[in-house]
């Protein structure tokens, strides 16, 4: 029997975006936060950098806007960029009021601001090298202190629930079917408003810096419910992730290359000089493409990052964390090179929203990495992502508050029907398809693309979707099956978007179309069941 729960607002996802939205809703509003694992399992907790904001008196909104537009390779929406940047200072002030302990300057009482790639001014406020953890832990404490907020860990949303009201051509979202790991049952969560804050989809690739839960759930659910998605072909890759079966998400800081580490093949031969005059100090996307090229050309599993030519004292003093982490896996970086691969890092596209986080479905919002706001364009600029989470989390909450009193209560929805499914005794099918999907996405739809590779991927994804749909129809849902289904849907969106872009721009690099088109256009995919009246984003890929 399906249990039904009712709240004013249902938030799916427990990262910075979702928690920010929850904390900006009034205490008389009943809120449920759904988290797949523990509340701190998402990407926010692991964010090392900081938050970009106009905080220095010598900095300006115009400079931050200009830097972001430049990094986005012509695809940023200036109105969205300006909205985000103009709200950066209030967003940081709110975090400070919540208790986030940002690092202060040694020589003054001011907050220390650093500078990162793409920024022309020091504007990155941070908490040492673990800003995400500092922000997330503070927001978690604040959420647990609120009596109106119910937090449900170990719960996975399966699909959104929608209904059409009499006399209205549009559908509205009224909740979601949610699978509980503890009970192995599916419950119905109904709400006047639903906020998707499920993070990105980098787990669709074989190598990723993201936690295991980043399987594009919100993007897939919104797409199946009738929402448009945009710019899914743009996925940011970090050049150097530790290649070891037990070290799935450990990034090797770019400071290693800044201090003289060399990228080499297994025989010790350097290769970066062939790709860029700055060699190992080339921009991140250039380095990632070069490593990918050598791996594909030679059929390698990885390349190596070598700083062993520096003295052990130098390495230990400059990179104690990296040295200690690698030593856990038997790699002494003072004596031997480190095996590395590029890793999928950030999803720049997502569910199409406006500056309030509103999607094409009434009362459904998407915020954070799940959404496409137009901020990032074709390449995300460092430290703008956490800022986007806070700014749009606040914006979505404000819009929900303005509408909540006028939203009709959800109508009755049928129970989750398991009468015609059975328990699967062939879980190997799920694990095999999971592995196959991530491998062909890495090989065919990764850092460097061609038409033939995309065609192969498109052929495989259609077969895989058919197989997964048949499995989903015959067997009871599980954590792995839910995520596999979502990954498969998101993979298809990435493939379709990549096939539509006949140029190389930002994070999308095609050997068949190496040049830029004269006009920058978004790639917007429209589902067959699209029911929106208003177009939120006017530009589309022709």
- At CA 534, angle to CA 91 and CA 169, rounded to 5? 120
DSSP code of residue 279: G
Contact indicator for 262, 270 with CB cutoff of 8 Å: yes
- At CA 282, angle to CA 278 and CA 284, rounded to 5? 175
Q: Delineate the domains of the chain, giving CATH numbers in brackets.
A: 4-231+348-404 (3.50.50.60), 235-345 (3.90.700.10)
Active site residue 284: yes
> In Å, what is the CA distance from 520 to each residue of 21, 350, 458, 504?
32, 18, 25, 11
Report the pLDDT value the prediction gives residue 102, as an integer from 0 to 100. Answer: 93
Each of the 542 residues of the chain gets a pLDDT tens digit; together they read: 789 999 999 999 999 999 999 999 999 999 999 999 999 988 888 777 789 999 999 999 999 999 999 989 999 999 999 999 999 999 999 999 999 999 898 778 889 888 777 788 889 898 876 788 999 999 999 999 999 999 999 999 999 999 987 767 778 999 999 999 999 999 999 999 999 999 999 999 998 888 888 999 999 999 999 999 999 999 999 889 999 988 877 888 777 887 889 999 999 999 999 998 888 888 777 888 899 899 989 999 999 999 999 999 989 887 888 899 899 999 999 999 999 999 999 999 999 999 999 999 999 999 999 999 999 999 988 789 999 999 999 999 999 999 999 998 888 888 888 877 888 766 788 889 999 999 999 999 999 999 999 999 999 999 999 999 998 988 899 999 999 999 999 999 999 999 999 999 999 999 999 999 999 999 999 998 775 544 344 333 33
Q: What is the Cα gyration radius of the chain?
A: 23
Report the pLDDT value the prediction gives residue 421, as an integer from 0 to 100. Answer: 83
Report the pLDDT value the prediction gives residue 526, as an integer from 0 to 100. Answer: 95
CB-count burial class (<10 Å; 0-12, 13-18, 19+) for 483: buried
φ, ψ for residue 134 (rounded to 5)?
-65, -45
Report the pLDDT value the prediction gives residue 491, as an integer from 0 to 100. Answer: 97
- How many Cβ atoms sit within 10 Å of the Cβ of residue 22? 26
In angstroms, the CA 288 to CA 298 distance is: 16
Report the pLDDT value the prediction gives residue 347, as an integer from 0 to 100. Answer: 96
φ, ψ for residue 402 (rounded to 5)?
-65, -20
CB-count burial class (<10 Å; 0-12, 13-18, 19+) for 196: buried
Q: E-strand spans in 436-487?
A: 448-449
In angstroms, the CA 416 to CA 477 distance is: 11
Catalytic annotation, pick one of 82, 123, 228, 284: 284
As a dihedral over the C-alpha atoms of residue 92, residue 95, residue 100, residue 105, rounded to 10 degrees, the angle is: 20
**Structure token pair of residue 490:** 């998101």
What's this model's pTM, rounded to 2 decimal places? 0.91
Q: Which residues pair with 449 in a beta bridge?
A: 510
Contact indicator for 474, 209 with CB cutoff of 8 Å: no
Helix (H) or strand (E) holding 360: none
Contacts of 515 (CB under 8 A, 6+ apart): 503, 504
**Structure token pair of residue 187:** 């419950």
φ, ψ for residue 52 (rounded to 5)?
-80, 130
Q: Shortest CA distance to 17 belongs to which of 414, 397, 498?
A: 397
Q: E-strand spans in 61-148?
A: 113-114, 124-125
> In Å, what is the CA distance from 244 to each residue of 305, 306, 326, 329?
13, 16, 10, 8
Q: E-strand spans in 415-498?
A: 448-449
Report the pLDDT value the prediction gives residue 542, as an integer from 0 to 100. Answer: 30
- How many Cβ atoms sit within 10 Å of the Cβ of residue 377? 27
Contacts of 45 (CB under 8 A, 6+ apart): 132, 133, 136, 137
């Amino acid at each position: 029997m399906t249990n039904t729960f009712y709240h004013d607002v249902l938030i799916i996802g427990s990262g910075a975006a979702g928690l920010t939205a929850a904390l900006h809703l009034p205490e008389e509003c009943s809120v449920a936060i759904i988290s797949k694992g523990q509340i701190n399992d998402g990407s926010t907790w692991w964010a090392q950098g900081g938050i970009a904001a106009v905080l220095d008196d010598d900095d300006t909104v115009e400079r931050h806007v200009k830097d972001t537009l430049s990094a986005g390779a012509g695809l940023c929406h200036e109105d969205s960029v300006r909205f985000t940047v103009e709200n950066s200072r209030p967003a940081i002030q709110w975090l400070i009021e919540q208790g986030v302990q940002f690092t202060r300057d040694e020589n003054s009482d001011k907050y220390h601001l650093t500078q990162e790639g793409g920024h022309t001014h020091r504007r990155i406020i941070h908490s040492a090298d673990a800003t995400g953890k500092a922000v997330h832990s503070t927001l978690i404490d604040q959420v647990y202190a609120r009596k109106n907020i119910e937090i449900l860990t170990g719960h996975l949303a399966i699909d959104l629930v929608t209904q059409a009201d009499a006399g209205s051509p549009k559908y509205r979202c009224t909740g979601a079917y949610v699978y509980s790991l503890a009970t192995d049952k599916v419950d119905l969560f109904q709400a006047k408003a639903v906020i998707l804050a499920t993070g990105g989809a980098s787990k669709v690739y074989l190598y990723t810096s993201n936690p295991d839960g980043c399987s594009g759930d919100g993007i897939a659910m919104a797409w199946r419910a009738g929402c448009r998605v945009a710019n899914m072909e743009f996925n940011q890759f970090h050049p150097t992730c530790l290649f070891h079966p037990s070290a799935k998400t450990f990034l090797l800081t770019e400071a290693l290359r800044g201090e003289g580490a060399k990228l080499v093949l297994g025989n010790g031969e350097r290769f970066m000089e062939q790709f860029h005059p700055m060699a190992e100090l080339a921009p991140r996307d250039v380095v990632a493409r070069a490593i990918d090229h050598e791996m594909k050309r030679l059929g390698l599993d990885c390349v190596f990052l070598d700083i062993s030519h520096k003295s052990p004292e130098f390495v230990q003093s400059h990179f104690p964390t990296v040295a200690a982490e690698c030593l856990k896996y038997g790699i002494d970086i003072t004596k031997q090179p480190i095996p590395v691969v590029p890793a999928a890092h950030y999803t720049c596209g997502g569910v199409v929203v406006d500056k309030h986080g509103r999607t094409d479905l009434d009362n459904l919002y998407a915020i954070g990495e799940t959404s496409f706001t137009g901020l990032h364009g074709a390449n995300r600029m460092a430290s703008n992502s956490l800022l986007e989470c806070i700014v749009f989390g606040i914006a979505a909450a404000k819009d929900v508050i303005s509408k909540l009193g006028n939203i009709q209560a959800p109508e009755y929805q049928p129970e989750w029907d398991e009468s015609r499914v059975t328990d699967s005794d062939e879980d190997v099918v799920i694990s095999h398809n999971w592995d196959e999907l991530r491998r062909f996405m890495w090989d065919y739809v990764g850092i460097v693309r061609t038409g033939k590779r995309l065609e192969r991927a498109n052929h495989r994804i259609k077969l895989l979707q058919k197989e997964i749909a048949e499995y989903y129809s015959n067997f009871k849902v599980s954590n792995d099956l839910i995520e596999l289904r979502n990954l498969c849907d998101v993979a298809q969106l990435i493939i379709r978007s990549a096939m539509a872009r006949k140029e190389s721009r930002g994070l999308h690099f095609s050997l068949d179309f190496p040049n830029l088109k004269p006009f920058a256009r978004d790639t917007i995919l429209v589902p067959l069941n699209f029911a929106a009246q208003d177009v939120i984003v006017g530009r589309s890929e022709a």
